[in-house]
Structure 1
Amino acid sequence: MDVVAFAMHGGELQVLLVERGELPHARDWALPGGFVQPGEELHEAALRELRTETSVDLEPRHLEQFYTFGALGRDPRGRVVSVAHLAVLPHGTVQVTAGGHTVGAAWQRAHHPPRLAFDHRAILDRALGRLQLRLEYANLALDFLPDTFTLPELQTVHEAILNRKLDKRNFRKRLLAQGSLVPSGERRSGVGRPAQLYRRAKNVRSAAL
């Protein structure tokens, strides 16, 4: 069981990693994860490991199984099959601390992570691909934002996930045409003209399965 937990920090897509405290790969960065307990549902195990190893005590805005990794030799301790989960943590989830058998926990750049233990870089890369795919047919980007947000903030999420810049005019035209957003009736003051705030339309659900 491995969990790829994403959040936006400072306009950048970041992934939650832990520093292992035990062999194999002691002191290496890895994804939070562990073994499923008897009688435990897979999603329950994913949430337990996330909370135990990183001290994150918030329900993810989105949680899904996205791939099973079972290549021979992926774990030197023996044959281990991992059902990987993708999670989106609520906006503002910043503070994390080590717990369980980890000695560190930190947010790292999702597209440019440090060297990872086991096959966790392959798991992360597949999770990024899944995240990008979900932008095309679901409203997953909205789960990275607070309840109300500006269009530039939403575009920043898309660009951070896709790891490339988008044309502002085309982006706004396409998003507004989908009918997934409605004006909140509020504006945010800042430099220049106050920005219109939007929210998820009532008929638009979270991207969670």
Structure 2
Amino acid sequence: MTDLALPRGATQVGLAVDVAAFAMHAGELHVLLVQRGELPHARDWALPGGFVHPGEELHEAALRELRTETSVELEPRHLEQFFTFGEINRDPRGRIVSVAHLAVLPHGTVSVSGGGHTLGAEWMPAHRTPRLAFDHQAILDRALGRLQLRLEYANLALEFLPDTFTLPELQGVYEAILNRKLDKRNFRKRLLAQGSLTPSGERRSGVGRPAQLYRRAKGTRTPAL
């Protein structure tokens, strides 16, 4: 029988997950943060996360921590692992490796509240966060880079929108994630040429001419990696 005991001198390593959960609010990309209620970093803001339970899959742990610490009950429209953070001194409690997850929450997800050992939970502008605990700023920065990369080869921007949307609303998601303005004419030309959108046959009334509504074309779901 194979000896499963740790060899002499081997390092005890804790396994954790952290979740960078995003949504659009008032035309700006927001990330969900919690205020820690325990040491280390008590009262500091952080990404939702915690230790993986025995027999628990990583994505299950990510969803559990997201629900427990923020009271979000809705299923993310997108959830993926995107990087593993294992620097030796990233956590003062010992050697802890965190598998970071990126989540996109459904359009209209606004109400959150702290739970578990947190003092509170809030949506904050993703490009303008307060000082974060541990190495969570590095995790957030990499998550933002992942979002920007996914705009180039997937349809992740569509996960931030309701089922039907206008092209200006879609452009607003791109600009919020990239944190810069885009040329309207070139954006529309490129997006419509990709074949990932189809007219819904409806228009939204408002100021001026009613805007054409679009929806995701069939067969263009965002792949989860």
Query: Which category of TM-score, normalised to the shorter sequence, fits these structures?
Result: over 0.9
Other-structure match for 1:96: 112
Query: Whole-Å Cα distance in 2 between the matches of residues 203 and 151 of structure 1?
Result: 20
The answer as to 2:115 corresponding to 1:108 is no
Partner of 2:41: 25
In the TM superposition, residue 19 of structure 1 has moved relative to its aligned partner by 0.1
Work out which of the two has the higher radius of gyration on C-alpha atoms and give 1 or 2.
2
Deviations 1:153-188, CA, capped at 9 Å, x for gaps: 000000000000000000000000000000000000
Distance 1:103 1:207 in 2: 35
1:40-189 paired onto structure 2 within 5 Å: 40-189=56-205
Q: Distance in 2 between matches of 1:205 and 1:99?
A: 32
Identity of aligned residues (%): 86
Q: CA RMSD in A?
A: 0.5
Is 1:9 the counterpart of 2:6 in the alignment?
no
5+ residue gaps, structure 2 = 1-16
The normalised TM-score by structure 1 is: 0.99
SS at match of 2:107: coil
User: For each residue in 1:132-173, what CA deviation from the matched residue of structure 2 results, as whole angstroms up to 9, or x when unmatched?
Assistant: 000000000000000000000000000000000000000000
Aligned residues: 209
Partners of 1:207 and 1:195 lie apart in 2 by 29
Return 5+ residue gaps in structure 1 as ranges. none
- Return the offset for 1:207: 3.6
* Mapped partners of 1:207, 1:90: distance in 2: 16
Runs (4+) of structure 1 exceeding 3 A deviation are none
Q: Which amino acid aligns with 2:74?
A: L
**What CA deviation, in whole Å up to 9, does each residue of 1:109-153 have, x standing for no partner?**
101101000000000000000000000000000000000000000
- Alignment deviations for residues 22-56 of structure 1 (CA, whole Å, 9 cap, x no partner): 00000000000000000000000000000000000
Please, what TM-score do these two structures have when normalized by structure 2?
0.92
Offset at residue 208 of structure 1 (A): 2.4
Q: Give the letter aligned to residue 85 of structure 1.
A: H
Distance in structure 2 (CA, Å) of the matches to 1:133 and 1:64 = 14
| Partner Cα distance (2:18, 2:130) in 1 | 17
Matched, 1:191 2:200: no
Residue type of the alignment partner of 1:75: D
Residue identity opposite 1:157 in structure 2: V
